[in-house]
Structure 1
Amino acid sequence: MKIVRNYLCLFAALLVTACSSDIEDYRQASPSFDLFEYFEGETQAWGMVQDYSDKQTRRFEVSIVGTIEADTLTLVEDFVFDDGEITQRIWVIKRLGDGYYEGTAGDIIGIATGREVGNTLHWTYDFEIEVDGSQYTVALDDWLHRQDDNHVFNLTSIRKFGVEVGRITLFFDKQ
């Protein structure tokens, strides 16, 4: 039985990695993402969180104000959730060059890292999340795709121990 379980775990791990995108797949896609240009000023977003079974567990709206100073973008994100919760996250994102970024925020553990290629930004970081009164650290695998001058789609995989436990979907509209 132990051997069967080990093979099942290996098979599941191979499936997870086989389904991963490579950011280079988006090299020819346009328009160019340009993180700083898109998020400078005011942006609105709407999103939802889904659990491991694809059940929608939360909905939210976000008002974002982005300011740029030299090679630093500061994003002030004000969230309003469907259950009435109101939160704020402030990102400080540094442009490193050649499409690479790193960022910090109060509820992010360590440093987020990202890279943009073509119309896509791939952003990864660890996040502290509360579920039913308990705190958990999860890994977020964020893929943002620029649709046009005004719209960005964001798909995020939430993982614990390498297994997807939820998803976040956001739609951004540039003011």
Structure 2
Amino acid sequence: MKIVLLTFTLFLYGCGSINLHSYENTEPTFSLIQFFQGKTRAFGIVQDYSGEVTRRFTVTMTGELNADGALVLDEHFLYDDGQKQFRQWIIKRSEQGYLGRASDIVGIAKGEERGFAVQWQYEMDLAVDGDVYRVAFDDWMYRLDQNRAFNKAKIKKWGITVAEVTLFFEKTP
């Protein structure tokens, strides 16, 4: 019985996982460094484990290349409750894909692109109601056209999805 249950569980897990390579030849291609240069505005929501929207927010972003060719991406968040937050990413391309750092990111964020999709994974020290929780993000970004992209991220604690973030990006002049 244990073998049947384990096999069924592995089957379900395999059905639910997305394979980045299935986007290999899709258009338009998505380069994080290229897309986020200049000004971008984003609109998003956070949903808890039950699907209830717990936060709404906007983000204004400015991305510039530094002398090393890395993208310096400044993000200014404004939440529906008036809270403001700032995060600065330093993102560079490597042979393994993208590598990124920010002050609340634990270690190095790693990303990989295929066609119109980018998968971006990292651990973050996430502040919630005065407490800080170490969580794992599994971000999927999809380039819709020249000026817009869509992002869906799962936030996990001990391997269990505790929240999801949905975000729309739009380049601004």
Deviation (angstroms), 1:60: 0.3
Mapped pair 1:78 → 2:79: no
- Count of paired positions: 171
Aligned residue type for 2:52: K
Deviation (angstroms), 1:106: 0.7
Query: Which residue of 2, 18, 22 corresponds with 1:21?
Result: 18
Which residue does 1:94 correspond to in 2?
A: 92
After superposition, the Cα gap between the structure-2 partners of 1:10 and 1:81, relative to the gap in structure 1 and judged at 3 Å, is farther
Mapped pair 1:63 → 2:45: no
Q: Which TM-score applies when normalising by structure 2?
A: 0.91
Assess if the C-alpha contact under 8 Å between 2:99 and 2:108 holds in 1: yes
Q: Which TM-score applies when normalising by structure 1?
A: 0.90
Give identity over the alignment, percent: 42
RMSD: 2.1
After superposition, the Cα gap between the structure-2 partners of 1:73 and 1:137, relative to the gap in structure 1 and judged at 3 Å, is same
After superposition, the Cα gap between the structure-2 partners of 1:12 and 1:167, relative to the gap in structure 1 and judged at 3 Å, is farther
After superposition, the Cα gap between the structure-2 partners of 1:50 and 1:12, relative to the gap in structure 1 and judged at 3 Å, is farther
Counterpart CA distance in 2 for 1:9 and 1:135 is 34
Q: Gaps spanning 5+ residues in structure 2: where?
A: none
Assess if the C-alpha contact under 8 Å between 2:78 and 2:84 holds in 1: yes
Which residue does 1:113 correspond to in 2?
A: 110
Assess if the C-alpha contact under 8 Å between 2:33 and 2:91 holds in 1: no
Deviation (angstroms), 1:90: 0.1
Counterpart CA distance in 2 for 1:18 and 1:162 is 17
Counterpart CA distance in 2 for 1:10 and 1:159 is 23
Which residue does 1:163 correspond to in 2?
A: 160
Counterpart CA distance in 2 for 1:108 and 1:49 is 18
Counterpart CA distance in 1 for 2:169 and 2:104 is 21
The runs of at least 4 consecutive aligned structure 1 residues that moved more than 6 Å come to 7-10
Deviations 1:69-101 (A, max 9, x none): 343001000000000000100000111147x01
After superposition, the Cα gap between the structure-2 partners of 1:8 and 1:168, relative to the gap in structure 1 and judged at 3 Å, is farther
